[in-house]
Structure 1
């Protein structure tokens, strides 16, 4: 199905269902990183770009099977309506134009059938707008309501059924018109008009002129004259030619062709296009209102924080257990202040006259972060240093952006570079509180990097392993 908004809605719904199996922290870091990448490239993080990004991450062959099955199901339903409509268009027109040389083809019957088609087209559109589904039996027949096939989000089924019905009606009208033109060529059709009501020829002429008003300027010959109406009236007891010129019997066919074109084919075609536009609009609206879209926008706009609480119950206390411990501060002159860490100034025990102090994170752009990584990598290589201090704020938990930064830095810095996270207290001359250091220890434990540790400035600690004593 070439309906792009509908395909996007179904793929997004399937992706949201699969994301429910992932940890919220993982989803937050993944989508926040995508938003920051789009911001760096000057692009808007639209659902289309997000789905394309997810497809690249998942790799080939990982598309949503359920959404593809649902699209193929509706494709088959639409093709069924079009095929049935095309067949019935041929049969119906052949029945309306049946002529056995003993009775003329009644124009009044054709006009009544055209009126019936207009009412059916309006009825189909009305049931879609009010959300009524008279096609439940067909959907069950195709398995649209079975658990394996999935369900259509956003109340799309009535509109999709209306679109399929209008497409079938368009094929019905088109094949009917073609059948009419073919029979005009290969047969000598005799048209006339008759009605049980006491109707004068002048009144009937006014009716057909009103019906022919849309094309009277385009094809004047397709508008019956009063003389033609008077000459082609027949009665049930009339065997054929009483008072009527046989040449006039065939002059109705342009009027019949235009009636079918303007009052059957064009309304169905117009309603099919409107139904397709409504499907697009409803799919976009359903995508914007999708619960997964609200959660995605929140994850992309909100920085990730590690609170240490892995439980779902708000009454539970955060899990503070960790196997990591504080490590001695390495001897290095390369410092990287993350997200305002070390402001307003660093203690003298950390920053010496020959120290290289870099800044990243916080209000820095991704380009500035990348430049800081390159500068630190160059300094590590030139100075032969094997460690770098990352100064942070102890009262702010580790963020997903810091994790992404460290993972990216590992790709550019020399192997076995020791990274020491140094959480600083608000007063640089004091030690951070024990409960503020625990999230950082859990962060290094979760990173599972043997060359990543947490250290503290010696000026505030008599024993660098004092935290272990406090925990016991």
Structure 2
């Protein structure tokens, strides 16, 4: 499980939606068991560990929620980057087109740079405020309807894809500029329909060149360059301009593009990554299901099997088949010391020949028991696995987690039989104590678990 906040949020949100279909008491027992196991191992019950634990219980083949969504957005981002690279080549080739009849206008390049900077800032602004001007594009890309958490992140995803496309645009345009400077004899100049004095134009270009003036003074336009490269639609005196000045604009144009187009795009792309992580961290911290999970892990729970607490009455057993006798199986697991200090006479054959799990056993020991029992079940007709429990105690979330892990690891034909043992002071478990265990078995996967009573007889659990 990766600790990336975005993936953590998406996986947790999907798990929370699944948990919404489960009864609260089942969730409480499961999560309390996880917290106790973490406490036993001396580690913090973090969300990463909790999700890893849930994935292990879900078994192989259950892909995290984030994988599919992030894979789709990576494809969208790559598409934006590819389109941006192609458009960058086309745009710069158009700006620097020179057929010898008229010089390349630096003023047009300045305006285009200003446009690119404005687009980059607008893209970031719409991501910060949550505006979605790309909604129509999402319909074209056939993005599915997203849950609330995904929907709140969609503007950030789109902004990051747009910034990636803008960065690819700037890089490919810069490469095109440098190639054309090398292979062609470009002639630059400046002109405008507005009446601009050379001094004002000089002040403008020097202000734009101030970030790199100390690093490369030769890339800062001089007064001679500005005054000598101004051209008009028609008029005398242009032939007197020194042609050598026409090519001296390229260092300024190159650094202008790098400073005011490429560098902002790169910076805002990094910022969009950070903003997505920061927003995901905030949504995760405020997620209602996270607060509920922390409460379940912190508070103990008891399963009485009764939905109407406070009336002082124990529940009646669920309608249906009564618990049958213990089947003839020598494969048994004693849960949380249930076989101590002694076994009933019906299970005397198992004395000393059963596995121990739960209780003071660690998760690693429980996993070892599951693996070893799984090897014994890998036969054509596996015997049922007896789960010996303390019948006078209610089922716990720890046992449910153990059985769900067994269901995921063992062969599909494996079955378990819950055998609630009687209190040492009683000859047999009372019928009133069996109701919680029958309800517990019903909450497990269909057909996986049944309940039997050690009455002294040995038989096969009915189909």
- TM norm. shorter chain > 0.5: yes
Confirm or deny: 8 A CA contact 1:70 1:150 kept in the other structure: no
| Cα deviation, residue 422, structure 1 | 3.8
Deviations 1:154-202 (A, max 9, x none): 6101111111111111111111111100100111000111122222222
Confirm or deny: 8 A CA contact 1:103 1:239 kept in the other structure: no
| Cα deviation, residue 308, structure 1 | 2.7
Matching residue of 2:394? 398
- Judging changes above 3 Å, is the alpha-carbon distance between structure 1 residues 154 and 24 closer, same or farther for their aligned structure 2 residues? same
Helix, strand or coil at the partner of 1:189:
coil
Matching residue of 2:10? 10
Whole-angstrom CA distance in 2 between matches of 1:249 and 1:277: 43
| Cα deviation, residue 239, structure 1 | 8.5
Whole-angstrom CA distance in 2 between matches of 1:228 and 1:405: 79
Aligned residues: 387
Aligned pair 1:442/2:439, yes or no? no
Q: Which sits farther off after the overlay, 73-82 or 114-123?
A: 73-82
Helix, strand or coil at the partner of 2:97:
coil
- Judging changes above 3 Å, is the alpha-carbon distance between structure 1 residues 119 and 450 closer, same or farther for their aligned structure 2 residues? same
Matching residue of 1:215? 212
Matching residue of 1:87? 86
- Judging changes above 3 Å, is the alpha-carbon distance between structure 1 residues 449 and 315 closer, same or farther for their aligned structure 2 residues? closer
Aligned pair 1:276/2:273, yes or no? yes
Normalised to the residue count of structure 1, the TM-score between the two structures is 0.70
- Judging changes above 3 Å, is the alpha-carbon distance between structure 1 residues 237 and 450 closer, same or farther for their aligned structure 2 residues? same
- Judging changes above 3 Å, is the alpha-carbon distance between structure 1 residues 126 and 444 closer, same or farther for their aligned structure 2 residues? closer
Deviations 1:249-268 (A, max 9, x none): 10100100000000001111
Q: 2:176 aligns with which of 175, 179, 185?
A: 179
Helix, strand or coil at the partner of 2:256:
helix
Confirm or deny: 8 A CA contact 1:73 1:142 kept in the other structure: no
| Cα deviation, residue 11, structure 1 | 2.0
* Structure 2 residues not aligned, in runs of 5+: 325-335, 338-358, 366-387, 404-416, 442-449, 456-463
RMSD: 4.4
* Structure 1 residues not aligned, in runs of 5+: 326-336, 339-363, 371-387, 408-415, 425-430, 432-436, 454-472
Aligned pair 1:153/2:150, yes or no? yes
Confirm or deny: 8 A CA contact 2:33 2:398 kept in the other structure: no
Q: 2:159 aligns with which of 158, 162, 167?
A: 162
Whole-angstrom CA distance in 2 between matches of 1:270 and 1:165: 13
Q: Bigger relative contact order, structure 1 or 2, given CA contacts below 8 A and separation 6+?
A: 2
Helix, strand or coil at the partner of 2:34:
helix
Matching residue of 2:369? none
Matching residue of 2:70? 71
Matching residue of 1:297? 294
Normalised to the residue count of structure 2, the TM-score between the two structures is 0.71
Larger Rg: 1
Whole-angstrom CA distance in 1 between matches of 2:307 and 2:220: 79
Matching residue of 1:319? 315
Confirm or deny: 8 A CA contact 1:103 1:240 kept in the other structure: no
Helix, strand or coil at the partner of 1:234:
coil
Deviations 1:64-108 (A, max 9, x none): 4x6443223222221221111111111111111111111111111
Q: Kindly report which structure 2 residues correspond to 1:37-436, keeping only aligned pairs within 5 A, or say none.
A: 37-64=37-64, 67-146=66-145, 152-153=149-150, 155-238=152-235, 241-310=238-307, 319-321=315-317, 398=394, 400=396, 403=399, 420=421, 422=423
- Judging changes above 3 Å, is the alpha-carbon distance between structure 1 residues 56 and 419 closer, same or farther for their aligned structure 2 residues? closer
